[in-house]
Amino acid sequence: MWQRRTSACFALFLGLTFAPSGFAAVVTSVETDIAPPGMDGYTPTFPSGGPSAADVLNGKSPIASAGNFTQESSTGLPALTNGTFNTAYGNGTSASQHAAYATAGDGNFVTYSLGGAYDLSSIVIYGGWPDGGRDAQHYDLLVSSDGGLNFTTLGSIDINPGVQNTDTTPVSNRVAFTEDALPSLAASVTTVRVNFLAVENGYTGYAEIDVFGTPLTIPGDADGNGIINLLDFNLITDHFHSVPSAPGLDGDVNLDNYVDQKDFREWRIAFGQDATGTAFAVPEPASLALGGLACAAALGLIRRRW
């Protein structure tokens, strides 16, 4: 009787020898699910579990990207952080259901801001295809501790478990990057980037990028007092378009050693519903006119309190 095949491979890659300072010997584990015959939808399962809806990236959009992520009517970038991996049986054509994926190939990339600094414990990336024709996974995983100014390669993967024209059911992969010795996989990380590399047939499917870690800062908390409010907005305004006295200070929310609209965006995201609930609309900053907006906002709040 034909049964679903799940295989797991746990291996130490080159990180054992070439891991940069601050990183442990990176352990890369691969788990592959090849579905049994069937039709309609299929949810792959893995010994170590499926995608998370509570990781650092959940619901986030990349701050930078390049590539066509919606080949064959794929969902595209939103699929990478929606916390699900529900694929479907295909028929070997572009008319198959590809909603589980963002497509990517050689030269494509995605970059995500974590909204602050994190000591990372693991990064897990899911991918595959409705058949063995585009299930390969090939990419470099990079991290930055300075807001994306400089990146260090944390690990790489190059696998192709499905056999084209033989595996005609969904082939799904779970690739986890963890550490084997140090307290963290990577310390004080602010930004994560995936550089996609060449695969069979030009592009493949990626279904989820999960990042796990412990926050060292509160996203959007520019003054470090543990509260996200207009005082953080004011601090960013006061130092807008300037170099802080040290990375992470003076409104440098994303720790890239420069206070600009990127820091404002991190504050606005963290402020969330509070920003839309106030009597003013918080615009994207374009100049030092932010100072006037901050004052007007503060006065508005004072009036409502009286």
Rounded distance between C-alpha atoms, residue 282 and residue 261, angstroms? 12
Is pLDDT above 80 for 10? no
Q: What is the pLDDT of residue 197?
A: 99
Q: What is the pLDDT of residue 280?
A: 36
Mean pLDDT value of segment 100-105: 98
Q: Which of 210-224, 233-247, 280-294 has the lowest average pLDDT? A: 280-294
- Residue 51: C-alpha distances to residues 8, 46, 207, 283 (Å): 17, 10, 9, 34
Q: What is the pLDDT of residue 37?
A: 92
- What are the chain's domains? 5-215 (2.60.120.260), 230-305 (no CATH)
- Residue 119: C-alpha distances to residues 66, 185, 191, 270 (Å): 27, 7, 11, 19
pLDDT in tens, 168-189: 899 999 999 999 888 999 999 9
Mean pLDDT value of segment 116-144: 96
Average pLDDT score, the chain: 85
- Residue 129: C-alpha distances to residues 98, 143, 177, 251 (Å): 8, 27, 21, 43
Q: What is the pLDDT of residue 181?
A: 87
Count other C-beta atoms under 10 Å from residue 241's C-beta. 12
Q: What is the pLDDT of residue 7?
A: 57
Is pLDDT above 50 for 18? no
Structure tokens at 172: 């799904």
Q: What is the pLDDT of residue 96?
A: 78
Q: Report pTM.
A: 0.82
pLDDT in tens, 219-254: 899 999 989 999 999 999 999 999 999 888 999 999
Rounded distance between C-alpha atoms, residue 235 and residue 267, angstroms? 11
Is pLDDT above 50 for 21? no
Rounded distance between C-alpha atoms, residue 135 and residue 170, angstroms? 8
